[in-house]
Structure 1
Amino acid sequence: MIIKAMELMNLQAYSHLIFLFSTLLSSQSIDLKPVRASSPPIQALVAPITKDAATSLYTLSLSGNQYLLDLSGPLLWSPCSPTHPTIPCSSGEYCAAVAPGAPNFGDGQCTCTARPTNPVTGDQAIGDLTLTDVATNATDGNTPTAEVTAHGAVSSCAPDRLLRSLPRGVTGDAGLGRGSLLSLPAQLYGKVSLSKQQFAICLPSTATAPGVAFFGGGPYGLMPPTQLDAGAALSYTDLVRDPMRPSTYSIRLRGIAVNQEAVPLPAGALDRGGGGVTLDTALPYTVMRRDVYRPFVDAFQRAMAHVPRMTSVRPFELCFDSGALGFTRVGYAVAPVDLMMASRGGGVGNWTVFGANSMAQVAPGVACLAFVDGGWAVESAVAVGGFQMENSLLVFDEDASRLGFSGTLLFVRTTCGNFNFSRD
């Protein structure tokens, strides 16, 4: 679920904690094995991403545990042990800034709290802020090179009930959200001497081979047939800020095309929600507001009028006889969908969605257009879900305020499941 506007005050409030946390965070150390003190700065950190077959959500492996990959989440959270460390309030004002009216005064001591949220259900809770260790691996872009532990990352405790509807075995939420000092990327940047303050995700399309997340600069190496730097030929578009949902990654959308023909959208339909598009890994499939969805589906149906229709399968509306569809290197031979964006430098760039990312196989012989009608209440005109991001490299460069995207890697005969996680 897209983060609600009510979270805005919580996100803004995190900035008030910087002075409280700065002493705690700067006193923490980094363990590197087997890197020596004379080693150069770490180029990047790497962690596997797994797709859960039951929920079509994605998990990130950290410290030997699985966390929900939450692109819009503002912080790390997980259930805590009864003896978890807490962060004392410098005054009641700090606690009120994070969770208004809800500092924790257990045992007569004031401790700071946060408001962790399940991004799928929207369920919220209040939990202590605590310190935890985040363990992962350094990488040269091609393989893991060293174990890395960042001590003293700030996270929030959460009740077990907040794990409902998440993939089985998940122990918490890894928030990668924009502009949050307590997001996973921001904390890793502050604790590890990384080459760049950016991160990249490459979501897998199956549960059998993990995708990959990089924190830091490239290369972003994938195999086979040869070692490929997936970040060598990216297109870029500006990231824009949505003041109502500051932790989301939003991009401007000029229009949508089906089979290279512009979809006739109502005037101003894409003006809301940060210019039309947010990216959200807590959504299995792309969700469109109804005034965008209806003309889009009608255009796709016209382009595919020669293919026999099948009965709709929820949550999808437009389903086809997959036996009547041709197949290509990039999935079913269906009309391509273009998300039309303004590129950096004033040019025009399209994020083109081919059959592998537009058609979901829902049953033997049945494939459906994997875009969902969000009704009128959704906050974005278009919220791009995980299925449409699979097997594409996405680079989130906060310093340059831009998104880099590779397009489908299937064209170059590789996938996000082809990072070499074995050590030489």
Structure 2
Amino acid sequence: MASSTHCFLLFCFSSLFLCSTSTFPVLGFRTNFALFPVAKDAATLQYVARISHGTPLRPADLVLDLGGSFLWMDCDSGHVSSSSRLIPSCSVNCSRARFHDDLGSKGCVLNTDCFVFPNNGVVGLASVGELVEDTLAVDSVDRLKVGEIPTVDHFLFSCAPTFQLQGLASGAKGMVGLGKASISLPSQLSSSIGHPQKFSLCLSPSNGVVLTGNGDAVFGTKTTRSLTYTPLVIKQNDYFIHVQSIKINGRRVSFRGEAKLEAKLSTVVPYTKMESSIFAMFSKAYVEAAAGLNMTRVATVAPFGLCFSWEGAGNSVPEIELVLQSEMVKWRIQGRNSMVKVSGESKCVGVLDGGPEQSSPIVIGGLQMEDKLLEFDIGSSMLGFSSSLLQKETTCSSPLQDSKLKQFI
């Protein structure tokens, strides 16, 4: 795993307030934003963050799951925390944690512990885990001045059995859920710190970030105020957008029925996937556009279905556009976000055939989200997205090169 994953959860504080007694306490601080760096694992193409938790503090690498309900980890990996506490079944925290499972107080049994259902979104493996709360390290820019790492209590997450780690990046001890569930990472920070119900995601082949609260100080107002917005549909904990049509080099791809296409956004899928009938029409149109650019098709390399020679058109490749609510609102997939180099001679389109049974017509994968700033505004059900930051001569890694922030990479 890239060494850049070795970083703590980073928070920038504007003011502090005393932590009052609450039925759902998480953090005892008020901040403008909460941010933690994310690195891409080269072997699995998963996005991994590191946090520190427990007493004594120990780091844990966790895979990001955009549709995950909460943070879960293997608690039996040798680290015994003296501050960890099991949550009772008949408690407000248990009811809130289990609300997304439609259990709530229905599963309440006196004098028993609260159990939830951690899900490994990479391989689709679910299990039963205990709900716990523990200390979480909160690195702040202020630590650069005072030399201390503040910690907070009462952060809720789930323990999971070791077999739940199947398919995760080497060294990963669990996953961080970014879904709408009440104990997902963004939800807990919003409830405890007073942030709006939104978070920003900026992935990168190297160092990316996940941020809750106001992102202006990190990404700059020029970028955050230039975002394009489209309605965000939330089902369970997954995030979807509606796609009116697909264009390749400006030409519309025809599909049977011409129905509105639903696209799910996923950080656990490395490349965009399309249902087989949609991929077939997309593939045909892409090959025609590639021929117009003198690109030579070559033998496919798994898992890709469309591969071309590096020779011919050079760096010029067809542009893919997902047309959203109008012709004025488009998600553009260009250059590095569309092609994957598989050898010295071949490059392949990072769009795959997801099979005839794929639950969503389109799943937008990690590659197509890289070096775009995405703002998930859950409160207003809107998704804000930037054009490729590469066109602005910056990347999602750039905020971490700030003289203060880079010390946490």
TM bin (shorter chain): 0.7 to 0.9
Q: How far off its partner does 1:150 sit?
A: 4.1
Structure 2 SS opposite 1:342: coil
Answering whether residue 12 of structure 2 is matched by residue 52 of structure 1, we say: no
Work out the CA distance in 2 between the residues paired with 1:75 and 1:90.
19
Structure 2 SS opposite 1:281: coil
Paired residue type of 1:78: M
Paired residue type of 1:219: D
Tell me the residue number matched to 1:406.
386
Answering whether residue 199 of structure 2 is matched by residue 199 of structure 1, we say: yes
Answering whether residue 354 of structure 2 is matched by residue 352 of structure 1, we say: no
Paired residue type of 1:189: S
Q: How far off its partner does 1:29 sit?
A: 4.9
Work out the CA distance in 2 between the residues paired with 1:402 and 1:150.
31
**1:353 touches 1:388 (CA, 8 Å); kept in 2?**
yes
Q: How far off its partner does 1:211 sit?
A: 1.1
Q: How far off its partner does 1:67 sit?
A: 1.1
Q: How far off its partner does 1:325 sit?
A: 3.3
Tell me the residue number matched to 1:308.
296
Tell me the residue number matched to 2:28.
30
Aligned counterparts, 1:63-82, within 5 A = 63=52, 64-81=59-76
Aligned counterparts, 1:194-233, within 5 A = 194=195, 196-205=196-205, 209-219=206-216, 221=218, 229-233=222-226
Structure 2 SS opposite 1:278: strand
Structure 1 unmatched ranges of 5 or more: 1-21, 32-40, 328-332
Structure 2 SS opposite 1:392: coil
Tell me the residue number matched to 1:341.
324
**2:27 touches 2:189 (CA, 8 Å); kept in 1?**
no
Q: How far off its partner does 1:123 sit?
A: 1.0
Work out the CA distance in 1 between the residues paired with 2:138 and 2:43.
26
Q: What TM-score do the two structures reach when normalised by structure 1? A: 0.78
Q: How far off its partner does 1:135 sit?
A: 3.1
Structure 1 SS opposite 2:256: coil
CA displacement, residues 256-309 of structure 1 (integer Å, 9 cap, x when unaligned): 0000111001115545xxxx1110000000011112111011100000112111
Q: 1:241 aligns with which of 234, 240, 245?
A: 234
Tell me the residue number matched to 1:253.
243
Structure 1 residues 157, 268: closer, same or farther in 2, change over 3 A?
farther
Q: 1:392 aligns with which of 362, 366, 372?
A: 372
Work out the CA distance in 1 between the residues paired with 2:317 and 2:156.
46
Aligned counterparts, 1:156-167, within 5 A = 156-167=158-169
Q: What TM-score do the two structures reach when normalised by structure 2? A: 0.81
Paired residue type of 1:88: P
Work out the CA distance in 2 between the residues paired with 1:394 and 1:146.
32
Answering whether residue 304 of structure 2 is matched by residue 324 of structure 1, we say: no
Q: How far off its partner does 1:46 sit?
A: 1.2
Paired residue type of 1:326: G
Tell me the residue number matched to 2:129.
127
Structure 2 SS opposite 1:303: helix
Q: How far off its partner does 1:362 sit?
A: 1.1
Runs of 4+ off more than 6 Å? 99-105
CA displacement, residues 46-80 of structure 1 (integer Å, 9 cap, x when unaligned): 11010000011101232243211110001110112
Q: How far off its partner does 1:162 sit?
A: 1.1
Q: How far off its partner does 1:348 sit?
A: 3.0
Q: How far off its partner does 1:228 sit?
A: 7.4
Structure 1 residues 96, 399: closer, same or farther in 2, change over 3 A?
closer
* Count of residues in Structure 1 that have an aligned counterpart in Structure 2: 362
Paired residue type of 1:135: A
CA displacement, residues 361-390 of structure 1 (integer Å, 9 cap, x when unaligned): 111121001111011111111000000000
**1:235 touches 1:349 (CA, 8 Å); kept in 2?**
yes
Structure 2 SS opposite 1:416: coil
Paired residue type of 2:386: S
Aligned counterparts, 1:4-153, within 5 A = 23-26=22-25, 29-30=27-28, 41-63=30-52, 64-81=59-76, 84-90=84-90, 109-137=111-139, 149-153=151-155
Work out the CA distance in 2 between the residues paired with 1:405 and 1:202.
10
Identify the range of structure 1 (56-65 vs 407-416) with the bigger mean alpha-carbon deviation.
56-65
Overall identity of the aligned pairs, in %? 32
Q: How far off its partner does 1:116 sit?
A: 0.6
CA displacement, residues 221-269 of structure 1 (integer Å, 9 cap, x when unaligned): 45xxxx7743131100011233xxx111111110100001110011155
**2:200 touches 2:215 (CA, 8 Å); kept in 1?**
no
Paired residue type of 2:50: S
Work out the CA distance in 2 between the residues paired with 1:96 and 1:325.
54
Work out the CA distance in 2 between the residues paired with 1:421 and 1:149.
24
Could you say what the CA RMSD is over the residues aligned between the two structures, in angstroms? Answer: 2.9
**2:27 touches 2:155 (CA, 8 Å); kept in 1?**
no
Paired residue type of 1:338: E
Q: How far off its partner does 1:192 sit?
A: 1.6
Work out the CA distance in 2 between the residues paired with 1:254 and 1:137.
43
Paired residue type of 1:211: G
Structure 2 SS opposite 1:400: coil
Paired residue type of 2:404: R
Structure 2 SS opposite 1:204: coil
CA displacement, residues 375-413 of structure 1 (integer Å, 9 cap, x when unaligned): 111111100000000011001111111000002111111
Paired residue type of 1:315: P
Work out the CA distance in 2 between the residues paired with 1:189 and 1:96.
18
Structure 2 unmatched ranges of 5 or more: 1-20, 53-58
Q: How far off its partner does 1:349 sit?
A: 0.2
